[in-house]
A and B are shown apart, each in its own frame.
Chain A
Amino acid sequence: MKDLPQIVYVVDDDDAVRDSLRLLLKSAGLACEAFAGAREFLSAYDPSQPGSLVLDVRMPGMSGLEMQQELNLRGATIPVIFITGHGDIPMAVEAMQHGAFDFLQKPFRDQELLDRV
């Protein structure tokens, strides 16, 4: 994947988390696009663009898990890395069963995220 221009999409309703993720990815030399909500991302997302998705589980409106299922319905294959504020095992299991790439608990070490991206 590293051969293609990659974009890391960040979807998190929390302004600070979203902005800090954007800066972190940028500092690591990665292209990043950030969205405040699931619907904003879904309407802007181009499946032909290679990349990965860093997705917050708990968001108002459509949750991270619901968005993952929506992507699956659309046949999108973008790898999803979930980030969550609290280690909710059943939720993580459900996400992994639906094909999530990984599951990170906030706060996390930058390298953990960057390795996965």
Chain B
Amino acid sequence: MCNMGGPTSDVLALLDATFDAVVIMDDRGRITAFNRSAEEMFGYRAADALGRNVNMLMTAMDRMVHDDHVKRYLAGGEPHILGKGRDVRVRHRDGSEFSVFLSVGRIPNSSPPQFVGYLHDSSLRHKALATLEQERQLNRLYLDLAQVMLVATNRAGAVQLVNQRALRVLKVDDSQIIDCNWVDCCVAPDDRGVARNAFRALLMSGSDEPQSCEYHVRSSDGEDRFITWRGVALRDANNVATGVMLSGEDITDQRRAESEAHRALERMNNVSRLATMGEMAAGISHELNQPLAAIANYAQACARLLRVPAPDMPEISGALEQISTQALRAGEIIRRIRSLVRNEDVRRESHDINELIREVHTLLASDARVHDGRLELDLAATLPKVTVDGVQIQQVLMNLVHNAFEAQGTDASRNELARGEVNGNAFEVRIATRPTDAGDVEVSVSDLGPGLAGEAEQKIFEPFFTTKPTGTGLGLAISRSIIKAHDARLGYRANQPRGACFYFVLPAHMEIPQ
């Protein structure tokens, strides 16, 4: 910095240390001081600038009027720029023009008056602002390009920022949502409690670990979308939570696909049940043909018997009775098949198996009385819950219990009982539950009847296999397909000391720890 009737050397040293360009001029507009930043800004060395008119740093337009401004001021007129700052265009030594922020002051007690101009390169500021703006737009772009919903709220829960994806899901403009309470405006009413708790938990948590939650948002047209959220608390410099940032993924379609897959699986189960029935179809026709053949034979026999002069009436009457019995038998087969093919939705719910059995016990008490027997319960005190269709499981139990009573109703069984070959209170059916080693639930129905001989044991689950004179052979097949639909197996084992035992093991319901 050079001095030319200008500031003292220590002031000049001070000026050289500032970032702003400093130019001092005298009352005739001549430069008296030109600091280092000014040298850099304008491309003149101080030695070249000193003594020259300051208007060499100005654009052509300013140059023409500057001297007049100075003269007018000195003549006691209005200051033009003095005391205020403004953006001006200035001229570099190479002729290029650029913007600076200029503030001018009169140096106190200077006589003749001297003026100091501070020039701040506002192009830098402009550049910085432009860069900032660019960055902001880039950030906006990042936000809007994101496949997830992004929402930031303040501490009170008012939305401060929301990206395009979120706006699309919610079907709103940002003007409709900015500064609105997030939970009240956007969350589905039923889920607001969940959302509020999650929001509070985020603000309270001292950790920066994202927290997850799931809830529905409701769009402006009333559609609910299921969103899985990850949230973090936003913090100020003092680590105080100032709001939350949420990123959400719309999993409505995914969930829908999952539940459709689940339904498809259920349908497939039904189909496989139907396929099993397809195998049965041949058997069904065979079994229906049995009573029909018998009816035809009896009827034709009756016709022949009636042709003779003295018909054997008792024989004919017996045959007619048989005809009605066989017709009813055919009807029963059809009824059973109908109950088998009824394609009802399986309603699986968490059940206490013992509760289901107690209900069956009430229903079957009369069945037990008819068979002059007793239905005993032997239920484990504590069992895990099972996820089953309660009604279907009860149907299976009723079928098994009914079979058990019928098995004991056979003549052979009655005789043995009469001879006291069976210990204790015979003629009873027992439903028992117990936990298996694997923690699942075994349900068994046992009787003290004749049990199953070797061959019957193998064929007992085949459709239309029956050991009963009036049986259709469908009861166990239906029971087995129901149990199979519950991912379990209906099994047979010999009961001790005698009789049959049918059992199935239901998987324990997994309790999700709270």
How many chain B residues touch the partner (CB < 8 A)?
29
Cβ of B293: which chain A residues have Cβ within 8 Å of it? 17, 20, 83, 85, 106-108
State which residues 65-99 of A face B: CB under 8 Å.
Answer: 83-86, 88
Cα-based distance from A14 to B329 in the complex (angstroms): 12
Q: Is the pair A20, B294 in contact by a Cβ cutoff of 8 Å?
A: yes
Measured between beta carbons, the chain B residues less than 8 angstroms from A33 are none
A-chain residues with CB within 8 Å of residue B289 when the two chains form the complex: 85-86, 105-107
Q: Once bound together, how far apart are the Cα atoms of A21 and B296, in whole Å?
A: 10
Q: Is A23 an interface residue (CB 8 A)?
A: yes
C-alpha gap A14/B287 in the complex (Å): 10
Of A1-9, A24-32, A43-51, which stretch is located at the interface?
A24-32
Across-interface contacts of B319 in A (CB, < 8 A): 20, 23
Distance in angstroms between the alpha carbons of A18 and B72 in the assembled complex = 139
How close is B455's CB to chain A, nearest CB, in angstroms? 6
Q: Does B212 count as interface, using CB distance less than 8 angstroms?
A: no
- Given known pairs A20-B301, A23-B301, A26-B301, the reply for A107 and B296 (CB within 8 Å) is yes
- Number of interchain pairs (Cβ within 8 Å): 82
Per-residue interface assignment for chain B, residues 287 to 330, with 1 indicating a CB less than 8 Å from any chain A CB and 0 otherwise: 10111111111101110110000000001000100100110010
**Which chain B residues border A85 with CB–CB below 8 Å?**
285-287, 289-290, 293
A88: B residues at CB distance < 8 A: 282
Known contacts A28-B304, A60-B465, A110-B304; is A19 also within 8 Å of B286 by CB?
A: no
Task: Decide if A40 is an interface residue (CB 8 Å cutoff).
Answer: no
What are 28 A-B pairs at a CB distance below 8 A? A15-B469, A16-B290, A16-B322, A17-B293, A20-B295, A20-B296, A20-B297, A20-B301, A23-B301, A24-B298, A24-B301, A27-B300, A27-B302, A27-B304, A28-B304, A58-B286, A60-B465, A85-B286, A85-B290, A86-B282, A86-B285, A86-B286, A105-B289, A106-B290, A107-B289, A107-B296, A110-B296, A110-B301
Which 10 pairs across A and B sit closest by C-beta, in order of nearness? A85-B286, A20-B297, A106-B293, A27-B304, A110-B300, A16-B294, A107-B296, A85-B289, A107-B293, A27-B301
A17-B297, A106-B289 given; 16 more Cβ-contact pairs under 8 Å: A14-B294, A16-B322, A17-B293, A20-B293, A20-B319, A23-B301, A24-B298, A58-B286, A61-B455, A83-B293, A84-B286, A85-B287, A85-B293, A86-B282, A110-B296, A110-B301
